[in-house]
Amino acid sequence: MTSTHASRAAATAAYLRCYPYDTWQMAVHVRALEQHAGNLGLGAPYVFLDNGISCRTVQPQLRLLLARAAMGFIDTVLVPGRWVFSIEDRTADAVTEFLRAAGARVFELPHRMDAWQSHSREQHTADRGAPDEPACLARP
C-alpha cells in the first residue's frame, strides 16, 4: 500500500491557545512565531489557534494539528511554550512526545532574556569581535 501524502512536502505549523477569548487573535504571538520561523530558516507557519478554549476541554485546532502531524503533513511545530498544549506538565509532555513520535520537531520561542542576550552578543561581535560576556554585563 502506498502513501498518498509521501510526495507532499511537510509544512511548518504554529499552535496557540488562549483562554479566555482574545479579540486580537493573539496577533503579537503569531508575529513572534512567524519571525522565529524565519530565524530558523523555515517557511511561514500555518497557524492553529484555539481561541477562548480552556486546556481542560476539547481543543479542536490542537486535534487537527495532531492529526495532520500524524499523517505527515506537518514536520515542524512552533509554540511560545509547551504550556499552550496544557497547563498540566504531564499532558503537555504527552502532546510534545506524540508530535515527536509522528516525526515533527517542536520548537519553543526563546525566552526574552535568552533572545536579548543572543542579540547582544551578535551585536557586540559585529562591533568589536567575540566577547567574553555581553557588553551590557561587562564590568568597567
With vertex at residue 43, the alpha carbon angle to CA 42 and CA 45, rounded to the nearest 5 degrees, is 105
State residue 109's pLDDT score.
93
Task: State the CATH architecture for 11-109.
Answer: 3-Layer(aba) Sandwich (3.40)
Task: Classify residue 99 as exposed, middle or buried by CB count within 10 Å of its CB (0-12, 13-18, 19+).
Answer: buried
Residue with the three cell numbers 519571525: 35
Give the model confidence (pLDDT) of 42-73 as tens digits: 999 999 999 999 999 999 999 999 999 999 99
67: β partners: none
Higher per-residue confidence, 16 vs 3:
16
**Per-domain residue ranges for the chain?**
11-109, 112-140
